Amino acid sequence: MPGVVQKAFARKKPQIVKETAVLKPANGATYTPTAPAAVLPLSPNPRAKVPVSADEVPQQQAFKEVVRPDVQLALSERDLGEEIVKTLTATNPSAPKNVVHFNMRDRVFKLDPMVDQLAQHYSTDGYLLHHHSEEAKRQLDQAKAAEEAAARYQTELERVQQRREEGVGTASVGTDSEPPDDSRTLRNQFNFSDRAAQTAIQPPRDRGTATEPPPTASTTGSCSMWQIYDAYLEDQERQAAAEEQSSRPRGGGRKGAAAGAPAASAADDAARRGGGAGPMSSAAMSRVARVLERMANQNTFADVGMDFKYWEDAADGVRDAEGTLLPLWRFTAERGRYKALTALCWSSDYLDLFAAGYGSYGFLKQCSGLVACFSLKNPSYPEFSCTTDSGVLCLDLHAQHPNLLAVGCYDGSVHVFDIRQKGGRPLYSATAQTGKHTDPVWQVRWAAAEGQRGLQFFSVSTDGRFTLWTLAKNELIHQNILELHSDPGLAAVDADGWEDTSSPGALAGGCCFDFNQGQDHLFVVGTEEGRIHECSTAHNSGYLQTYLGHHMSVYSVRWNRLHPRFFLSCGADWTVRLWDSRRSQPVLVFDLGSPVGDVAWSPHAATTFAAATEEGKVHVFDISQNSIEALCEQRVVTQGRLTKIAFNPQHPILLVGDDRGCVTCVKLSPNLRRVSQSDGKQTAKEMEVAKLEKVIEVALKGMKEAN
Amino acid sequence: MADVEDYRKDMEAFFKMAKYPLVRQTDMLAEMREEAVDVCVTAVEKHQADMEKCTQAIKEALDRKFGPRWHVIAGNYFSFEITHECKNLLYLFIGGTTGVLVWKM
C-alpha cells in the first residue's frame, strides 16, 4: 500500500514487576496514596528505586520488588538482551492469495488480484462529534428543548407562586388556582421499583376428534336411448300388472266381499305364525335373552365366582393333614326337584359344562327321568334338558364328541342324545325290539377308541349282560360282550358266614364297571352280590380275576387315573376298598360308617380320592398323607343322601349329587390337592405313581406283619 | 320404407306415452326424492337445448335445498361409475329422451 512505511523496531522481552509501596504514616497523619499505576518498567534493573521526593514525606521509603512466578523462564542476561526483529509489511500474511472467481463472460475461473490486505487489530469509536454533523444537531436540539421545558416549568411555578401570593393578598379571588403540573419534576430515580409476577402458563393441549365419514356407496350404470325406451316399457308393463291386480278384487268383491277380507287376514296370520316371525320367539330374541340371563347370573353369582377363582383356605397353612371343602354353586333343575340325582359327568372339552341325570333308586316309587346339562356360568337354569319316560340311572359324555350323551334308564333302555338340539328327542334309542336290557342299566361308558363301524358305548345291567352298543346309521346295534355268571366255585371259597344263594349258571347283576386307563380292553365289573370281576373285551370266555371283599352290592369301581394297576371300589357295606389288580384281596379298606354312594379318584394326584356317603358327607382321602383316615370329612347337604361325586378334569372342584335332585359344587382347600411337582428328572405323573406304590408297599408290609 | 314409417310411428307413440319422469334408481327418502325429481324435471324442461345450463340449474337448486356438493349428469347417452353418499342418489329418465343422474358426495 502506498503511504505505509515499512518499520522495524526492537523490543525487549517484558518482565512482570510488582510494585510494593510500604507507607509509614508519620505522626498519625493520614496519607492517601494515588491510584496505583501498573508500571511495566523497561529498565533491565528491577531494583531501581523509584525517585521519591524526600521533601514531602521524609520517612517514607518506597522500593520496587520484582516478583517472578515460578514458571517463568529464567533467562540469562544475554538472552534478555537479545533483540527480536519484527517487521511491519503492507501485505496481510493471513489474507488468502489465491482467490478465484468464475467469470461468466469468459467461462473460466480467474484469479482475483485485489485481495483485501487490511487487518484491523484495534479500533475504537471516539465520543467527540463534529458540531455540524446530523447527530450533533439532533443532540443540540434535544438539549435546547429540555432547557426550554425546564424554563417553561420554572416560569409556570413562579406564576403560580405569584398568583397564590396575590390570592393571599386579595383573600377572595384565588378560587381558580390549580396545583402546578409537577409531572415534569425530576424524581429520585432510585425510588422506582419495577415489580412483576409471572403466573404459570397453562400448557396448550391439542384435542381432536374424528367423526366417521358419512357412509358412501358405489353404483354404476349407463344411459342410452334404448335403455330409456326399455325402462319405460317395463314400467308400463308393471303399471298394467298393478292395475290388473287392484281391479281384480274389486270385480269379485261384488259377490263375496264379506268372505274375502277374513280369508286375507287369516292368510296373514298363518304367514306370521308359520314364519315364526313373532319378535318374542325369534332366534335373535332368544340369543338376546340368553346374553341377558348370563349377565344377570354373572352379577348374582359374582362372589361365588371370585371364591371359585381366588379363595384359598388360609388355615391350611397351619393345619398339617386336614382340609376343608368350600361350597360354591348349587344346581337344581325345575323338573328334577323331586327326583334323585343319579348320574354326573363332566364334559372333557368344556371345563364348565357337566351333565346330570335324574331318576329314582326306589323300586316302588319310580318316576320319569330327566337329563340336564349345566354350565358353571349359569347355575339357575340348565343349558340343555330333556325328559325320558323312565328314570335315568347313568350317563356319559363322549370325550371326543362333547355333544354326544349316552344315557341308561331304569327300564333297561339306553339312549343317545345330541345336547346341541334343545329339548329334542334322542338321536338313538334301544327299545324292546332292539335288544334293550331287561333290568335297570347301572352304567354306560363310551368306548375310548372309535370302532370300525362307528361310535360305540358299553352298558352294564343287573340282568347280567355287559353290552356293546354301536351307533349305526339310524339304529343302535347291540352286541353282548359278556354274561356275568356268578361262579359257584368262588362262592364256596368265601363261605365264612356269607351264603351264596344263586344256583349254578345264574347270572350275576352288574352294578358298575370301569375301563383300565392303560389297556383299553381291560375292565372291572362290580356286581350286586359284592364280587368284582376283571374281564377283557377281547374274549368273553370268563373272568380274568375275581376280587373278593365286599359283602353287599358294589356301587362304584374306579381305576386310578395315573397308575394302571390300582382301582377303588365302594359299596353298600360302608366300605371303600383299594385293590391291586394282581391281588384278589383289597390292599386298603376304609370304613366310612354309612353306605358309600360313589367314589372318585382325583385326576391329578394318584393318592387322592373322594367318596360320598348316604349320611350326606364327603370324605376326601390322601393316602400318602394318612392311609387310615380321611383328610376331610365334611357334611355337604343337611338332609338327604349323597349319590354321586365327580372331580372336575382341571379345576380343584368337586360335584356332589344328592337324592333330592340337587348338585352341589365344592372347592377343595389346598391341603386336599397336593400334587407332586416335577423335579426335572421325573415328571409329576411318575412321581405320583411312585408315591402311590410306596404307600401300597407300606400297607402290604403292614398286612404281612399282622398275619 | 314401411319399416322407417313404422319406426317413426312407434317412436311417436313412445314419446306420447313417456311424458312422465321415470325414476330408474334411487336410495333417497320419499320426501327428498319428490323434491329432487321436481327440480330435475323443471330444469330439463326449461333448458331443453342447452344441457350445460340445465345441469348448472339442477346443481344450484339442489345445493341450495339439500346442502352443497351435488354432482349432476344429464344427457342422452352416457355411462357412469360413481361413489355417492348413501341416501343421496337419484337416477331418472325424463320425457323418454334424457337421463339425469344426481348424487351428493
Question: Which residue segment(s) compose the domain that A600 sits in?
Answer: 302-494+505-706
d(CA B27, CA A621): 74
pLDDT tens digit sequence for A426-437? 888 887 778 888
Question: Which CATH number is associated with domain B19-104?
Answer: 3.30.740.10
Domain stop point among A71, A90, A109: A90
Q: Distance (Å) from the C-alpha of residue A208 to the closest C-alpha of chain B?
A: 24
Three-class secondary structure assignment of A91-108: CCCCCCCCCEEEECCCCE
The per-residue pLDDT for range A694-707, each reduced to its tens digit, is: 888 888 888 888 77
The nearest alpha carbon in chain A to B10 belongs to A229
pTM greater than 0.95: no
Residue A236: inside a domain, yes or no?
Answer: no
Q: Is residue A38 part of a domain?
A: yes
Partner-chain residue, chosen from B27, B85, B97, that has the shortest CB–CB distance to A214? B85
Q: Which residue of A has its CA nearest to B93?
A: A228
CB contact under 8 A, A232 and B17: yes
Confidence of residue A285 (pLDDT cuts 50, 70, 90): confident
Contact A214 B77 (CB under 8 A): no
Q: Closest Cα partner for A341 from A365, A323, A359, A364?
A: A359
B2-17 helix and A225-275 helix, angle to the nearest 10 degrees: 50
Contact assignment for A235 to B22 by CB distance below 8 Å: yes
Pairwise pLDDT comparison (A56 vs A146), residue with the higher score: A146
Read off the pLDDT of residues A52-62 as tens digits, 9 standing for 90 and up. 444 554 556 67
Residue B34 pLDDT grade (very low, low, confident, very high; cuts 50, 70, 90)? very high
Counted residue by residue, chain A has a size of 707
Residue A294 covered by a domain = no
Q: What local confidence, expressed as pLDDT, does residue B71 receive? A: 94
CA distance, residue B61 to nearest chain A CA (Å): 22
Strand order across the beta sheet in which A428-429 lies: A392-397, A404-409, A414-418, A428-429
Only one residue has cell 397351619, namely A318
Name the pLDDT band for A544 (thresholds 50, 70, 90).
confident
**Whether the predicted pLDDT of A19 surpasses 70:** no
List CB contacts (< 8 A) between A224 and chain B.
76-77
Q: Tell me which chain B residues have a C-beta less than 8 angstroms from the C-beta of A223.
A: 75-80, 93, 99, 101
Answer for the pair A536, A523: CB distance below 8 angstroms, yes or no: yes
Does A31 score more than 60 pLDDT?
A: no
A-chain residues within 8 Å CB-CB of B81? Answer: 218-220
- Round to whole Å and give the CA distance between A217 and B86: 6
| Residues of chain B found within 8 Å of residue A218, distances taken between Cβ atoms | 81-84
Q: pLDDT tens digits, residue range A670-699?
A: 888 888 777 777 788 888 888 888 888 888
pLDDT of residue A60: 60
Confidence of residue A170 (pLDDT cuts 50, 70, 90): low
- Alpha carbon distance A482, A487 (integer Å): 14
Give the model's confidence band at A18: pLDDT under 50 very low, under 70 low, under 90 confident, else very high.
Answer: very low
Chain B interface, Cβ < 8 Å to A: 14, 17-18, 22, 24-25, 27, 75-86, 89, 91, 93, 96-97, 99, 101, 105
Q: What is the mean pLDDT of chain A?
A: 79
Which of B77, B81, B86 has the CB atom closest to A216's CB atom? Answer: B86
- Chain B interface test: which of A212, A218, A219 (most B C-beta within 10 Å): A219
Answer whether A223 sits within 8 Å of B78, measured CB to CB: yes
A-to-B residue pairs, Cβ atoms closer than 8 angstroms: 71
Per-residue model confidence as pLDDT tens digits over A187-237: 666 777 778 888 888 889 999 999 888 889 999 988 898 889 899 989 999
* A481-537 pLDDT, tens digit each: 888 877 654 443 343 444 444 444 567 888 899 988 888 888 899 988 888 888 888
Helix (H) or strand (E) holding A332: strand A325-332
Q: What percent of chain A has pLDDT over 70?
A: 80
C-alpha cell at B81: 361409475
d(CA A605, CA A689): 9
Q: Tell me if B76 and A232 make a contact (CB, 8 A cut-off).
A: no
**pLDDT tens for each residue of A635-667:** 888 888 899 999 998 888 999 999 888 899 999
**Nearest-CA distance from A235 to chain B in Å?**
8
State the CB neighbour count (10 A cutoff) for residue A308. Answer: 18
Q: Report the percent of chain A where pLDDT is more than 90.
A: 15
Q: Are A593 and A583 in contact (CB under 8 A)?
A: no
Q: In this complex, do B22 and A216 lie within 8 Å of one another by their Cβ atoms?
A: no
Query: Does the residue A164 lie in any domain?
Result: no
**Which range, A92-101, A243-252, A316-325, has the best average confidence (pLDDT)?**
A92-101
pLDDT in the model for residue A39? 44
The pLDDT value given to residue A20:
43
Q: What is the DSSP letter of A381?
A: S
Contact A553, A543 (CB under 8 A): no
Section A452-466 average pLDDT: 85
Contact A228 B85 (CB under 8 A): no
Please give, rounded to a whole number of angstroms, the shortest distance from the CA of A210 to a CA of chain B.
18
Q: What is the pLDDT of residue A30?
A: 42
- Residue closest to A511 by CA, chosen among A527, A495, A534: A527
pLDDT tens across B78-99, in order? 999 999 999 999 999 998 889 9
Shortest alpha-carbon distance between residue A225 and chain B (Å) = 7
- B86–A221 CB contact, under 8 Å: no
Helical H segments across A366-417, by residue range: none
Can you give the pLDDT at residue A55? Answer: 52
φ, ψ of residue A142 in degrees (nearest 5): -60, -45
Instruction: Say if residues B91 and B25 touch (Cβ distance below 8 Å).
Output: yes
Q: Is residue A439 part of a domain?
A: yes
Q: Which residue of chain B has the CA closest to A218?
A: B83
Nearest CB among B14, B78, B84 relative to A229 is that of B14
A218, A228, A230: which to substitute to probe chain B, counting the most B Cβ within 10 Å? A228
The per-residue pLDDT for A58 is 52
* Three cell numbers, residue A158: 413562579
Strand partners, A358: A341, A370
| pLDDT tops 90 at residue A354 | yes
pLDDT, mean of residues A15-31: 44
Chain A residue with minimal CA distance to B21? A232
Q: Which residues of B touch A238 (CB under 8 A)?
A: none
Q: In whole angstroms, give the CA distance from residue B6 to residue B12.
A: 10
Q: Residue A220 and residue B78: Cβ atoms within 8 Å?
A: no
Query: What backbone torsions phi and psi does residue B60 show, to the nearest 5 degrees?
Result: -65, -40
Mutant choice from B19, B77, B86, B101 vs A, greatest count of A C-beta within 10 A: B77
Which chain B residues contact residue A219 at CB under 8 A?
A: 25, 80-82, 84, 89, 91
> pLDDT value at position A624?
85
CB contacts of B85 in chain A (<8 Å) are: 214-216
Three-state DSSP at A601 gives: strand
Q: Note whether A106 and A38 are within 8 A (CB).
A: no
Tell me if B89 and A231 make a contact (CB, 8 A cut-off): no
Which segment of A107-121, A552-566, B60-74 scores lowest on mean pLDDT?
A: A107-121
CB-nearest partner of B18 from A214, A227, A232:
A232
Cβ-Cβ contacts under 8 Å, A217 against chain B: 27, 83-84, 86, 89
- Give domain limits for chain B: 19-104
φ and ψ at residue A544, rounded to 5 degrees? -80, -30
A584 occurs within a structural domain: yes
Residue A215: list chain B partners with CB under 8 A: 85-86
Number of folded domains that form chain A: 2
Strand A653-658's sheet: what is its strand order?
Answer: A325-332, A662-668, A653-658, A642-647
Interface of A with B (CB under 8 A): 214-225, 227-229, 231-232, 235-236
